[in-house]
Amino acid sequence: MKILVTGATKGIGKVIAQTLEGKIYAAGRNADALKEYKNYFAADLTKEEELVKLGDYIEANKIDALINNAGAYIWSNTGDLMLEDIKNIINTDLTAPLYLISRAVRGMKERKFGRIVNIGSISGVMGEAGASAYSAAKSGLIGMTKALALEFAEFNITVNTINPGWVETELGSNSIEESGFSRGEILDTIPQKRFVEPVEIANLVQYLISDKAKGITGQSINLCAGLSVGC
């Protein structure tokens, strides 16, 4: 299976790319960091020309499974948000995944096989004060996933979204600092009293793209150590 992972140079994306079984194609903004992979493409998903070229790359390499992991986050009082901030979040977290899917699905339909996994966020399920643009984009992924699952079902193409909670990554640590809360205060809100490990997400991705999960499509799966059900 040919698998393309966006945002593959660090955090969740890197662990996903290193864990999945198949021929890995990595995408990210940092060309130097991508060189650890045999197959890679450097692109900034907020730049239209580069996004289109990544779409060309996906089609040319006949990608079987697309993992939309790349994302952007900003914490800000909504009254302080600049238009450029909103555009950056929406373009990275929602527009780019939908566009890349539109390019990948052409070949998937011809081959009558495809697997698409979007990495969302629990903020798109529950909402997050101070992260309205991020929550909006990630919530959009959930609606998009349902619509695409219906559209592609007859072609043996599944589409699902995984919604991580707090994850043990650099982004997670940075988000704590921006939130104004301590790590301990955040842990108190998580029923399992722990952050999710990136490999847990990678393992779920592996399952969702396998034949064992061929009947699972259009789903929004919360992987959040219980955060979505209360504290």
Rounded to an integer, what distance in angstroms lies between the CA atom of residue 228 and that of residue 231? 9
The CA-to-CA distance between both ends of the chain, in Å, stands at 40
Active-site residue flag, 57 = no
Which CATH superfamily does the domain covering 2-229 fall into? Answer: NAD(P)-binding Rossmann-like Domain (3.40.50.720)
pTM for the structure as a whole? 0.93
For 18, phi and psi rounded to 5 degrees? -80, -15
For the residues 21-25, what does the mean pLDDT come to? 97
pLDDT confidence of residue 76: 84
For the residues 26-39, what does the mean pLDDT come to? 96
User: Across the chain, what does the average pLDDT equal?
Assistant: 93
Q: What residue spans define the domains of the chain?
A: 2-229
Q: What is the pLDDT of residues 163-219, one digit of tens each?
A: 999 998 866 565 665 666 777 888 888 999 999 999 999 999 999 999 999 999 999
pLDDT confidence of residue 180: 64
